[in-house]
């Protein structure tokens, strides 16, 4: 993206040179956008790692769960797990134990409480997973405007310099406009990956949520069957 600049001097193509020549406001804009870009990419990479790991863990957990004979033994094995699906499972088991601890068992109430507890666990896990997505959304929508602000400011400054030098030749105008456009370029540089990542990750989180809900429904059906036997 930065390669699209038009410069009168090849030396000024260097982003550092452009940054150093700029006005202090444009400098601030560039610096902020650079940090936003770094933070965006940190979130993207971290999220990608986390989502991939979560998906794999969910598949493994579901496979283990289907093969498991004893739910209590399986729960003991995964009690300390940090995985979202394990937490949902733990929430269901915990609620089951609390509801069936007494002498009399309210079957309808127990079913409702089980559903609520597991639904809350799923929601909490999704919240935790999608924690950083709002940052991506913010960067994606705001960074172009911030960059545009820097550009407008820089171009205004260029025009002032035209007026000051009473010379409108390209050599006077071009460097100022180039460094001003650099602000927009950084803004787009930060915003485009953020928008793409936000859409992809929102989709990925939706799928994880659906998967957790399916697992919770299945577990709820199993517990409900157990409730009737009891």
21 lines the binding site for another protein (CB under 8 A): no
Radius of gyration of the chain (CA): 28
> Cα–Cα distance between 215 and 59 in angstroms, integer?
11
- Half-sphere exposure of residue 218: CA atoms within 13 angstroms, side-chain side: 12
> Cα–Cα distance between 59 and 52 in angstroms, integer?
11
37 lines the binding site for another protein (CB under 8 A): yes
Those residues whose C-beta lies under 8 Å from the C-beta of residue 43, and which sit 6 or more positions away, are 132, 135, 136, 197
Residue among 145, 134, 123 nearest 197 (CA): 134
Q: Which stretch binds another protein (CB under 8 A): 12-20, 57-65, 85-93, 101-109?
A: 12-20
| Residues composing the chain | 230
- For another protein, the closer CB: 43 or 216: 43
Residues in 151-180 that interact with another protein by CB under 8 A:
170-171
39 lines the binding site for another protein (CB under 8 A): yes
- For another protein, the closer CB: 112 or 131: 131
Work out whether the CA dihedral 34, 186, 42, 140 comes out positive or negative.
Answer: positive
132 lines the binding site for another protein (CB under 8 A): yes
130 lines the binding site for another protein (CB under 8 A): no
Q: Which stretch binds another protein (CB under 8 A): 45-53, 88-96, 101-109, 144-152?
A: 45-53
User: Rounded to an integer, what is the distance from CA 64 to the centroid of its chain?
Assistant: 29
Q: Which of 14, 100, 141, 168 binds another protein (CB under 8 A)?
A: 14
The H-assigned helical ranges of 82-169 are: 84-99, 107-129, 133-165
42 lines the binding site for another protein (CB under 8 A): yes
34 lines the binding site for another protein (CB under 8 A): yes
Residue 188 in contact with residue 143, Cβ under 8 Å? yes
Q: Which of 31, 49, 120, 156 binds another protein (CB under 8 A)?
A: 49
Beta carbon of residue 102, minimum distance to another protein (angstroms, whole number): 39
31 lines the binding site for another protein (CB under 8 A): no
Binding site for another protein (CB under 8 A): 2-3, 7-11, 13-17, 34, 37-50, 53, 132, 170-171
């Amino acid at each position: 993206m930065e390669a699209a600049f038009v410069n009168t001097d090849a030396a000024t193509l260097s982003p550092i040179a452009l940054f150093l020549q700029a006005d202090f406001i444009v400098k601030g804009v560039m610096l902020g956008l650079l940090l936003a870009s770094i933070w965006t990419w940190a979130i993207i990479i971290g999220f990608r790692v986390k989502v991939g790991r979560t998906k794999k863990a969910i598949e493994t957990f579901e496979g283990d769960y289907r093969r498991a004979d004893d739910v209590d033994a399986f729960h003991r094995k995964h009690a300390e797990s940090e995985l979202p699906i394990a937490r949902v499972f733990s929430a269901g088991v915990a609620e089951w134990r609390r509801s069936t601890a007494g002498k009399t068992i309210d079957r309808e109430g127990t079913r409702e409480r089980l559903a609520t507890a597991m639904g809350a666990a799923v929601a909490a896990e999704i919240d935790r997973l999608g924690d950083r997505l709002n940052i991506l959304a913010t960067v994606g929508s705001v960074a172009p405007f911030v960059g545009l602000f820097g550009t407008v400011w820089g171009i205004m400054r260029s025009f002032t310099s035209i007026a000051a030098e009473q010379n409108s030749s390209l050599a006077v105008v071009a460097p100022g406009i180039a460094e001003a456009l650099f602000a927009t370029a950084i803004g787009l540089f930060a915003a485009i990956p953020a928008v793409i990542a936000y859409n992809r990750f929102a989709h990925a989180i939706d799928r994880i949520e659906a998967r957790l809900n399916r697992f919770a429904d299945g577990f709820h059906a199993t517990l409900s069957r157990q409730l009737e036997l009891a």
